[in-house]
Chains A and B, each alone.
Chain A
Amino acid sequence: MDLSYSPEERAFQEEVRGWLADNLPAHIADAVRAGGELSKEMMEEWHALLNSKGWLATTWPVEFGGPGWTPVQKHIFEEECCRAYAPRIVPFGLNMLGPVLIKFGTEAQQQEVLPRILDGSDWWCQGYSEPGAGSDLASLKTHAVRDGDEYVINGQKTWTTLGQHANKIFCLVRTDPDAKPQEGISFVLVDLDTPGIEMRPIRLIEGGHEVNEVFFTDVRVPVANLVGEENKGWTIAKYLLSHERTGIAGVGFSMQALEEVKALARKVRRGAARLIDDPLFAARIAQAEIDLEAMKITNLRMLFKAQEQGAPGPETSILKIKGTVIHQELKDLARRALGPAAAPFPGHVSDGNILFGPEDAANNAARYFNNRKTSIFGGSNEIQRNILTKTMLEL
């Protein structure tokens, strides 16, 4: 047993760290550190920088423009990005649609779509969930009816993350209303400029706008936009879910959050004492740190297994469950550390002259509330437990 990275992996880590130090723009890192919403321009700027280095499409094979990294390299890259406060990569085109097209798309689709994902010409969003189809995704109702060379789509998608920035959406739609739920679904690519599409913002708990509803009324889409076979969309959806799982434990983000909490607790005072010297709060931090230390190794063990065996197994559900809970706990601590200074509404944290709390305090409560989403989306933590139960009990 050897827990250390190989010399090559260490060299890679140095390379990534050095590149980030030289290339990650300070205004972007500052925005990430501040914890507010990033502008579209910032995300695009960051994608473009990574693309120029060839490090953008980390999940794609070399022949399509990926860097050809091992799972451990991907992990190192993600960890270093977190350490440097680089933005998260917007996953919809790069980590979801890209791998799907590489596996299921026609050559024409690959040639047309993939380069535009890389160079930022297209911003994709994910049209899976519907008001009535969340955990039970296969019950989705948005349907596509074939009319000559076109599908005519009617229905509604919801929870579309960053749809307001997108010009394209990939959707699961029902193409056979008579088949079993999973067997009548297709995967189609839709241009958001097509007549009949309306997008409306959904405001989230903390007041931010990151998700949307998308309404489809007689939307005509070329049949050529079907990915894979008609009525075989569920296979694609399942494949995509397994890709959504790289980095699912979010260890890097939790390490970042742990450092932030410690820094805050050193800064915040309760009278003459620093908060970090309060044994009860110090115990909370230590507890979370212990959980995270174990999680780092759990994560590496599963990476190692994936590297040896190819595909990640159902145990990755453990990463999702525990990873989100640890991160949420750390966000709870950051909010808690601030005491009453956590309360100002986002955007009301200063009057322009004086700050209503210590520096870096703004947005902590908002981030805590916003992060409640991580145990709900991408297969809720209850659904993850169901997946594990099935393999464990084999009943």
Chain B
Amino acid sequence: MDFNLTDDRRMLADTLARYLGDKYTIEHRNAVAYELPCHDPAKWDEMAELGALYALASEDAGGFGGTGFDISVVFEALGRALCPEPVLAALLSSRLLTAAGADQEGLLTGAMRYAAALSELDAPYDIADVACAAEVRGDGHVLSGRKSAVYGGQVADVLLVAARLEGKVALFEVQARDAQVIGYAMIDGGGAAEVLLDDTAARLLIADASDAIEAAQNAGIVALCAEAVGAMQLAHDTTVDYMRQRKQFGVPIGKFQVLQHRAVDMLTEIEQARSITIKAAAELDGDQASRYASMAKNMIGRAARLVAEEAIQMHGGIAMTWEYPVSHYAKRLVMLDHQLGDTDYHLSRVMSGNMSA
């Protein structure tokens, strides 16, 4: 047994954390995160140079990582810094391109922005519900329909679109300029897009893509869970610091036992969340990946909400303000539950796994 990171991963974690700490300060982050394009191209290039994107893909696919732990190391650092860059979009796309056996050098160098257009309004989490329609046209395909919550779609050059072809969910590549892409900023920072397709030219990548998409989403879930762990840890550290400093009734509020115990409860949940994330990362390439990803996402959904709400409550009014960083961490922690399946969605997946076992 060894819960230590390998030297390579530790180095990546440290380098990325140091870079983000110096260059992606919360002030800079807030300036980028809530206004389109929700993206800083110069920082993106620098992060790519540090290897943040190469770490997401295996050597076979042109990267130097690609395991669950490579992903979690990168995203935990992103979470601690509350980085709004579309790295999740790059991860999902990288997994899909790998499954398709397609070249992804442009993605890994950071030169090209990819986004995965999987969800729809009525199919927010379960890809089996996708309705966007593909049809053969000439010697290619065209797509019609609407994709929603396309993370990173607001700056994507290329979209990887899940659409229904002959009853199956297939994966297509669409040039963003050929679609109508309506970008927006999100309440927790970062950007996404609605994508409107109307007989839009598309290149077929995978004809029966359900498994590839599920696998990509599992990787995305590990990423989100690790991001949450990083953000929760920072929110907790900040709360504990504040409890030491903030005085009311002549004493630091950290002297009130009710707050002490609640800070401990937060920590307990964070440690549990960290553990389940490690488990999901370890299982990512195994045949139980979906089950452990669902366990992790469910627990993260619960823990992150608790940590967000308690961090605000135990700070008092100050954490309700835009100016105080914890408010932004809290928003991210809560809204993470709305990505790639929420607490209930993943609970039901674990439940049905048990029932059919």
Contacts and interface: CB of A to CB of B under 8 A. Distances in A.
A389 to B, nearest CB: 10
A129 to B, nearest CB: 7
Contact of A204 (B128, B182, B321): B321
Interface stretch (B95-103, B184-192, B225-233): B184-192
A342 B312 CA distance: 20
B48 interface: no
A202 B318 CA distance: 10
Interface string B317-329: 1011111000100
Contacts of B338: 335-336, 338-340, 342-343
A291 interface: no
A377 interface: yes
Nearest to A158: B317
Contact of A340 (B128, B129, B148, B313): B148
Given A271-B128, A351-B182, A376-B316, A382 B258 contact: yes
B148 A356 contact: yes
A87 B188 CA distance: 28
Is chain B's interface secondary structure helix, strand, loop, or mixed overall?
mixed
A322 interface: no
Interface in B227-260: 247-250, 256, 258-259
A12 interface: no
A203 B344 contact: no
Interface stretch (A61-69, A134-142, A148-156, A297-305): A134-142
Nearest to B258: A382
A381 B313 contact: yes
Contacts of A342: 187, 335, 338
B317 A377 contact: yes
Contact of A271 (B129, B187, B337): B129
B348 interface: yes
Contact of A134 (B182, B317, B323, B331): B317
B125 interface: yes
Contact of B339 (A206, A335, A340, A375): A340
B121 interface: yes
A366 B149 contact: no
A271 B321 contact: no
A343 B248 contact: no
B194 A205 contact: no
Contacts of B133: none
A343 B147 CA distance: 15
B348 A344 contact: no
B125 A280 contact: no
Contacts of A349: 184
B93 interface: no
B187 A344 contact: yes
Nearest to A336: B342
A207 interface: yes
B249 A340 contact: no
Contact of A270 (B126, B188, B192): B126
A348 B184 contact: yes
21 contacts: A129-B317, A159-B317, A203-B323, A205-B322, A206-B187, A270-B123, A271-B123, A272-B129, A278-B344, A336-B337, A336-B338, A343-B186, A343-B187, A345-B185, A351-B184, A354-B196, A356-B194, A369-B331, A373-B317, A376-B317, A381-B313
